[in-house]
Structure 1
Amino acid sequence: MTGRFITLEGGEGAGKSTQAALLVTALRAEGLEVVATREPGGTPGAEAIRALIVEGDPDRWSALTELLLVNAARADHVARLIRPALERGAWVVCDRYVDSTLAYQGAGKGVPREALIDQHRLATGNLWPDLTLVLDLPVDLGETRAIGRGRLDRFELTGGGFHDRVAKAFRASVVDDPARVRLIDATRDPASVAAAIWAEVEPLLA
């Protein structure tokens, strides 16, 4: 593989989609081929599965069923889009990936970490990002931003301390894997957040 794989992570309302788009623009300005994608989704098959995952009542699926759906979508996404792009030398910027699974289905819903890692290895051939940027902000601020966007999905509607557990898991990922994961303060204005992200990404251009 000659391309680079960058993922943006964080809780609801963290601004991942906005920052992913800004990063893609900045990388293309460097003359790179950049593939912008998201999870769940990214390919026609994975987008169809996405609808099953994010729509409906919060208790629509058990945690294990949800995990299997996520990895079914990811397997198609990696096989049909991400891996071919990396192999031809393109950079891939993805809004959510495996760290969301570890946070949401793991810390949030209680699936053991070993099962999460095993499923990821099977679905992706053990493909991990080169760099993961966790956009961090207080849970209550994220929830306010999500409500301001309008219609809420299954995860945004989940209560019972779920989002606090997810936020703690994202922050823990920076400690668990400091060589790959960076924490970005997402409480700042979009331009400042984008500058902080670029400071982490630019060394990969060398």
Structure 2
Amino acid sequence: MEQTLTIFYTANLRGDLNLLPRLYILLRRLKQEAGSPTLLLDAGRACDDSVWHCAATGGRSTLLVLDAMGYTAANVSGYLTPAGRTQLTNNLLGMALLDQGDRWENEQVVITAREASIAAPGKVHIVLACDEHTALNQGTLRLGTVETGQVGVIRLSSASGTGHLSLLRDNVLTLPSATPPDPTIAGTIEFVLAEARYHRRKGGSSDR
């Protein structure tokens, strides 16, 4: 019997919180339509120090919203400070935070933020970083580039017994401009921004 897994992923959000309530509506619809187990991932650059709320929170701001949106894991290399990571961990974040050397796995996949030698028979190794093109090679999946406002969609199948993996779908969707915002995620963003303003008034000393 064939088993399938659908992966939705974003990247290069660069702290664009205004996009996320609308993006959530699209992602929720895609997950409902998938009809199979799904993963929701962010492949890097969710926050950027040039954006005030990212700088004020040590890179936590966008990640807090992604967690509320149901993301499974995020590549936090290059923008999440050690203090920011500690605070997210203390908040009992449900989303896995992956930097160089980290890994997350379940019964189907192993996810790392960088290329790594992974011994995980029968599991797909997902390298959670954007490459030029999506590729599945000897059990390792590399993700093609997506930009702000885009969602990468990958569908994999695994043949029971043989474990043979196939790439069934690989495409990039753009968020329709008419997509309405989700009010719950919009409320989460207001809370996150209020915290960021508090840290900015303090000079960001607790997060830097």
Higher RCO, 1 vs 2 (CA within 8 Å, ≥6 residues apart): 1
Q: What TM-score, normalized to structure 1?
A: 0.31
Hey, which of these two has a bigger chunk of helix by percent?
A: 1
Compute the TM-score of the two structures, normalised by the length of structure 2: 0.31
Which has the larger share of strand? 2
Q: Which structure has the greater CA radius of gyration? A: 2
